[in-house]
Amino acid sequence: MADHSIQGYQDILSIIDTILTNPTASFTEIREIIIKNTPGFTAVQVSTSIELAVRLWLISYIRNRMPVNQLQLETTIPWPDTLSLNSVLQQHYVRRTSHASAKYPEHLNVYNIGKMAGFRVKWTGSKTDHLSIEGSLVYIYYNVTVLRRMRSVSK
């Protein structure tokens, strides 16, 4: 038996649609809605499917069931049973104001970030962590192709 309830691409879209149409619903409420619509699957299978759909949709390591691997744990955004996805994202991504007025070179790169600002760089596979800062650590999304594609689509 599979670890998830997803049978195809349409199931992923259905999960995303359920989340979008119930923006204040907690993880548990979303799971119950999906279980009601797809009988025959366990709560664990549906939970895993919700995680997969959201991770593919947002290109972020959002998880309800927390990993034991230390590296995965460091880059995971926890989604507790009692919170909505909107709440999780709002809590995780707090806007920070900057009063920096420094002039940066035309081609800002990882080397210059470290040299000029004293930052250490940590590569991340989570698009939503891109350019987030924790102390002197700045997270850089390593899949440049996705970022370029996003920029070209937004023009």
**80-114: buried (b, 16+ CB within 10 Å) or exposed (e) per residue?**
eeebbbeebbeeeeeeeeeeeeeeeeeeeeeeebe
Structural domains counted in the chain: 2
Q: Is the pLDDT of residue 155 over 70?
A: no
Q: pLDDT at position 97, please?
A: 60
2 within domain boundaries = no
Q: pLDDT at position 13, please?
A: 92
Domain hosting residue 130, numbered range: 110-154
83 shares a domain with 116: no
67 shares a domain with 28: yes
The span from the CA of 6 to the CA of 2, in Å, is 9
The sheet carrying 120-124 orders its strands as: 120-124, 137-141, 133-134
104 within domain boundaries = no
- What pTM value is reported for the model? 0.62
| More confident call, 97 vs 127 | 127
Q: Assign 96 to helix, strand or coil.
A: coil
76 shares a domain with 43: yes
Q: Is the pLDDT of residue 1 over 70?
A: no
66 shares a domain with 17: yes
pLDDT tens by residue, 5-37: 777 888 889 999 999 999 999 999 999 999 998
Q: pLDDT at position 84, please?
A: 95
Q: Is the pLDDT of residue 123 over 70?
A: yes
142 within domain boundaries = yes
- Please choose, from the candidates 140, 94, 101, the residue with its C-alpha nearest in 3D space to the C-alpha of residue 121: 140
34 within domain boundaries = yes
Between the CA atoms of 9, 11, 17 and 22, what dihedral angle is there, to the nearest 10 degrees?
Answer: -150
Cβ–Cβ under 8 Å, residues 26 and 82: yes
Q: Is the pLDDT of residue 85 over 90?
A: yes
Q: pLDDT at position 81, please?
A: 93
Q: Is the pLDDT of residue 135 over 80?
A: yes
87 shares a domain with 41: yes
- Residue percentage of the chain with pLDDT more than 90: 26
